[in-house]
Chain A
Amino acid sequence: MGNPMRIRAKLDGEVVDAKVLMNHAMETGQRKDASGALVPAHYITKVIASCNGKTVLEADWGPSVSKNPLLGFRFRGAAAGDTLSVTWTDSMNDTRTDEAVIG
């Protein structure tokens, strides 16, 4: 399930400027907690963004992507009012999809 993403998609001319802020711990598996025990790896492995049934961006990530990841990208072929959908899947097979209307 995870926590909601914040998605901003703004049309600038013909180009949609998209910024997605995900809510995820992105644990590397190398960090130790206060008791000295390793915190298990738990990070987003895949992000897919789509608009009007078309994939507009696809990303594979490793644990080096920062906690609460930010993803910015720009694509064409969408109009104001269209919906941008973003889905992530993590290393524990959790997944979450959020949408935003292009403004």
Chain B
Amino acid sequence: MLHRREFLRDMGQGGILVALLSSGLLTIPKAWAADRNQAAFAAKTVEEAFAALGAGTPAASDEITLEAPEIAENGAVVPVNVTTSIAGADAIAILVEKNPNALAAVTIIPAGTEAYVSTRVKMQQTSRVIALVRAKGSFFIASKDVKVTLGGCGG
């Protein structure tokens, strides 16, 4: 059985691993799946979350439909629906830019399941809501500004 630590050691120089990762030749299996991506959920900013998810700087796509209200009267319950027609989409993440931790949810879409997810998120304040879609190893985003009149994360 090959443990992660041994694997890293056997790779010899960590630089090789970093180079492979950054070049996209090697992707970390299950980074989005069975094991929760703690770093992504701990990220304070959208950029940090994207980096932890391996998304880099994703391209905007008009093939993602992000439905969220223009004005949310209650930031505690903001409905967000994401659908995409991007071929091969296998994961959808929802981020709220100005929340203490930007990443709200990551949804894995197995084959046979439609690239659609509907949920409700908390918003501390007026912010950009972002849908991040992974398809065939590439990442795309759509975003929408949602004005919050009553914050949902306070006491």
Contacts and interface: CB of A to CB of B under 8 A. Distances in A.
Interface of A: 15, 19, 26, 28, 30-33, 45-46, 54-67, 69-77
A56 B101 contact: no
B41 A66 contact: no
Main secondary structure of the interface of A (DSSP, over half): strand
B133 interface: no
Contact of A46 (B36, B110, B152): B36
A75 B116 CA distance: 9
Contacts of B116: 72-74
23 contacts: A15-B114, A19-B118, A56-B112, A57-B109, A57-B110, A59-B105, A59-B108, A60-B37, A60-B41, A62-B101, A63-B122, A64-B153, A66-B76, A66-B119, A66-B122, A67-B122, A70-B79, A72-B81, A72-B117, A73-B113, A73-B117, A75-B113, A76-B112
A58 B153 contact: no
Best-buried of A33, A61, A66 by chain B (most CB within 10 Å): A66
Contact of B110 (A56, A61, A74): A56
Given A70-B118, A72-B119, A64 B113 contact: no
B153 A30 contact: yes
Contacts of B99: 64
Interface of B: 32-34, 36-37, 41, 76-79, 81, 96, 99-101, 103-110, 112-114, 116-122, 152-155
A69 B112 contact: no
Contact of B107 (A30, A57, A67, A76): A57
Contacts of B152: 66
Contacts of A60: 32, 36-37, 41, 105-106
Contacts of A74: 113-114, 116
Contact of A71 (B33, B36, B112, B118): B118
Best-buried of A26, A46, A56, A61 by chain B (most CB within 10 Å): A61
A78 to B, nearest CB: 9
Contact of A66 (B78, B81, B101): B78
B83 to A, nearest CB: 9
